[in-house]
Amino acid sequence: MAGNRVNDFIEDLKGKKVLTKQELRALGKRVDLIVDKTEGLIDGLNEKSGIVGKMLVKSIFGPKGELALEILDEIENYDSDNSGSYSSSTVFQVTQASQINVLKLCPCIHFKEPKTIMAHEIYPVMEKKSRMRLALIICNRTFDYLSEREGCEKDISGMRDLLENLGYSVVIKENLTAQEMKVELKHFATRPEHRFSDSTFLVFMSHGILDGICGTKHREEEPDVLHDDTIFQIFNNRNCRNLKDKPKVIIMQACRGKGNGAVWVTDVGEACAWPENQPSAPYIFSDAVQKTHVEKDFIAFKSSTPHNVSWRLNTDGSVFISHLIRYFKMYSCCHHLEEIFRKVQYSFETPNIITQMPTIERLSMTRYFYLFPGN
């Protein structure tokens, strides 16, 4: 078959007098060698696997316009002949699912253009070969007085894989008290690698209350809580100089109360369920600036709004974390961090059986943060 195709091609060249007889003879000897090798390859593939061989044959010799339809037709015929369970729709679904579960890489051109055109609007990205990105995951599964957080191992593995694929070396700490979390955070903040990094991620997964993240010894009578202020103080520009002017991303998967996050409303918008009459506390703002802002370049993304719960499945992990991982994989190749977070929020917009609304808080980033995966 390969020989016939090539002979037809050479006859066309001869008929149109593109090449001289001498050139055709020289070309013919080389072509004979190629054809012999090619036909041997095709025969071998056909013997090993009919479908693989046919796909390769058609990709080399068949009309391009018919290739996709013919391959699908062969897959269906192959399946029916061999009593297999795959169909063309199954192949599409598997392909679609695998694309969702794989981090999309940023093309080189999409990496270089923003670095030049938007240089003053985005956070600088260090060269891949010389940077040393670090990320910290703290996950509490077992507690002295609270229920075990079943399914959280899915969250750990998912976030670890995501961050590693984004170029971060991931440190994982588990089952810590509030004091132990504070010690680990201080140790992580002093890591010299941050000097050669352009950003960091801090991921917390635990039980929680409105005041913060629960340590393993937490109970109502004796709170064991890591407060947000503690985290921000450890990593601010006064205490963590190596991360000055660099994005510090805080992700928290924890309840922030016992509310279900939903309310029934009438057509005129009047709430008809358990209003919470919380007195508004006064906030005192201070523009305490010396050589630099004390707190800058932070963003915290929390799994729910204040006073409300976050949902976790004992088999698949946290709903928030799974959505977050999926949208990072799909959109970090072309969208900045805040836009990815908004897409996660939008995925929770319509309340259903599981109702929660992820929330962006304490945002002090002055530029767009692009991850540019693969670069």
Q: Which residues are catalytic?
A: 207, 255
Instruction: Dig out the tokens for 5 from the structure.
Output: 């195709």
CA distance 349 to 31: 63
- C-alpha to C-alpha distance for 181 and 184, rounded to whole angstroms: 5
Tokens 């924890």 sit at which residue?
254
Look up residue 286 and give its DSSP letter: -
Is residue 166 within 8 Å of 104, Cβ to Cβ? no
Based on the number of CB atoms within 10 Å of its own CB, is 323 exposed (0-12), middle (13-18) or buried (19 or more)?
middle
For residue 298, the surrounding DSSP H or E stretch is strand 298-302
Contact 318, 311 (CB under 8 A): yes
Which residues, in sequence order, are CB contacts of 37 under 8 Å at separation 6+? none
Q: Which residue has tokens 């995501």? A: 162
d(CA 189, CA 202) in angstroms, rounded, equals 10
List all residues 6 or more positions away from 36 whose beta carbon is below 8 Å from its beta carbon.
none
SS3 at position 128:
coil
| Residue of 221, 226, 199, 205 whose CA lies nearest to 140 | 205
232 contact partners, CB below 8 Å, separation of at least 6: 295, 298, 362
Tokens 């508004």 found at: 280
